[in-house]
Amino acid sequence: MRDAILVLNAGSSTIKLALYAVPQQGDAKLLCKGLLDAHSAAPHLIIHDTSGAVLFDHRPDQAGHHELIAALLDWTDEFLQGGRLIATGHRIVHGGRRFVSPVRIDADVLQALDALTPLAPLHQPRGLAPIRAIGALRPQLAQVACFDTAFHSDLAPPVSRFAIPRRFEAEGLRRYGFHGLSYQFIAGQLARQSPPLTGKRSVVAHLGNGASLCAMRNGRSIDTTMGLTALDGLVMGTRCGNLDPGVVLTLQRLHRFGPDEVERLLYYESGLLGVSEISADVRTLLASDDPRAKEAIDLFVYRAGAGVAAMAHAMAGLDVLVFTAGIGENSAEIRARIVAELGWLGVRIDDQANAAGRRRISTEASAVTVLVLKTDEEAVIVEGCRKLFG
């Protein structure tokens, strides 16, 4: 009989899932991966094995989130053939000041996480929804939350501080940082694959639909581009990234925007989508000959380059640059353009190695080692669960 842990990684629209066998000793073993999409016009749950072969393709005519989660749990029981699902692990975007390591979820924890929703309105409800559904369907099943903010929990002033009246800091208004599960995975990869690089001054560029940078040394976060919320920093698919706060005041005054309208504008209608008026997807924009698509990409690249330079400042230099996540792992063109912005820092890449998406894409002469590493947030979550259960 084998024990297993089911990991749910809720993004802003879909939920990635992964099922792991967890032996008493040794590494967790990935059994299958999948995607649960309850919000598109055609809700579906699809699961495939490690070679990509489809194991389960469930497309009910009408199904909400709860029904798809129920179908997932039933399928998991059947798949494990008498094995035992010992826990579910969840990616939770905001842990606030209280949650800085994985935690077993109970009613008190759930309430505290719910209270952080205003700080991550796009993600927090999506992360908590499967926890509630599983709690209702399998109240005895252990559930664990792992936090995107946790990797940055050591950040201290001046890095963590906003220049607003001090009293608000006591209320939790400070810079937290996000994408921590991804950064933790990359830190682990560097330590495992290239121990000499872990002590170097590294910037990790997590460039996906959400995008941020982390200045990292010895597996710890030194600075990062996101702040109190996941809006700050780089230009993203639909999020604005850093913005003069006066823009918000002006929108409120000129257009009589209330908080909900500002929230919708900055989280869902801005970024690549807002500037291009075409798409939030880099693939679509790169394939387009519309000048607005080019302008959106130009802004994304410019701000990413500026962000890397700011992260390098936090470490007084730059030795390693790592690209990861959907855009960072897959788009040679975006990597090349960001690196071109950083030519003045002595960063050089080999065009062939970059086009082939090799692990190391910098030239021998480059002052900075440039790597492309695949991230795996689910692997970090399963390890978080295992630590909690000893």
Q: Does 212 bind ligand AMP (CB under 6 A)?
A: no
| Identity at 345, one-letter amino acid code | L
Shortest Å, Cβ 241 to ligand AMP: 15
User: In whole angstroms, what is the distance from residue 5 CA to residue 11 CA?
Assistant: 19
Q: Is residue 148 among the annotated active site residues?
A: yes
Among 209, 225, 270, 366, binds ligand AMP (CB under 6 A): 209
Q: Tally Cβ neighbours within 10 Å of residue 136.
A: 11
Shortest Å, Cβ 199 to ligand AMP: 27
Residue 384: its H or E element: helix 377-388
Q: Does 271 bind ligand AMP (CB under 6 A)?
A: no
Among 283, 358, 359, 387, binds ligand AMP (CB under 6 A): 283
Q: Does 181 bind ligand AMP (CB under 6 A)?
A: no
Q: Does 326 bind ligand AMP (CB under 6 A)?
A: yes
Interface with ligand AMP (CB under 6 A), residue total 11
Structure token pair of residue 14: 């879909």
User: In whole angstroms, what is the distance from residue 159 CA to residue 223 CA?
Assistant: 6
Among 38, 72, 236, 327, binds ligand AMP (CB under 6 A): 327
CB of 385 closer than 8 Å to CB of 5: yes
Among 325, 373, 379, 385, binds ligand AMP (CB under 6 A): 325
Q: Going by C-beta distance under 8 Å and a sequence separation of 6 or more, which residues neighbour residue 249?
A: none
Pairing of strands 211-217, 220-224: antiparallel
User: In whole angstroms, what is the distance from residue 212 CA to residue 92 CA?
Assistant: 17
If we measure between CA atoms, which residue out of 321, 309, 306, 305 comes closest to residue 362?
A: 321
If we measure between CA atoms, which residue out of 192, 152, 207 comes closest to residue 175?
A: 152
Judged by CB under 6 A, the stretch of 112-120, 152-160, 244-252, 323-331 that binds ligand AMP is 323-331
Judged by CB under 6 A, the stretch of 26-34, 218-226, 310-318, 324-332 that binds ligand AMP is 324-332
Residue whose CB is less far from ligand AMP, 4 or 205: 205
Judged by CB under 6 A, the stretch of 75-83, 187-195, 239-247, 280-288 that binds ligand AMP is 280-288
Pairing of strands 103-104, 211-217: unpaired
CB of 325 closer than 8 Å to CB of 206: yes
Q: Does 281 bind ligand AMP (CB under 6 A)?
A: yes
Q: Does 237 bind ligand AMP (CB under 6 A)?
A: yes
Phi, psi of 141 (to 5 degrees): -75, 130
Angstrom CA distances, 50 to 29, 31, 54, 94, 365, stand at 10, 7, 10, 30, 38
Q: Going by C-beta distance under 8 Å and a sequence separation of 6 or more, which residues neighbour residue 29?
A: 20, 21, 22, 23
Structure token pair of residue 195: 């121990």
Q: Does 236 bind ligand AMP (CB under 6 A)?
A: no
Q: Does 216 bind ligand AMP (CB under 6 A)?
A: no
Q: Which of 148, 223, 232, 376 is catalytic?
A: 148
Q: Does 208 bind ligand AMP (CB under 6 A)?
A: yes
Q: Does 330 bind ligand AMP (CB under 6 A)?
A: yes
Shortest Å, Cβ 283 to ligand AMP: 5
Q: Does 131 bind ligand AMP (CB under 6 A)?
A: no
Residue whose CB is less far from ligand AMP, 48 or 132: 48
Residue whose CB is less far from ligand AMP, 34 or 237: 237
Which positions lie near ligand AMP, rule CB under 6 A? 208-209, 237, 281-283, 325-327, 330-331
Catalytic residue IDs = 148
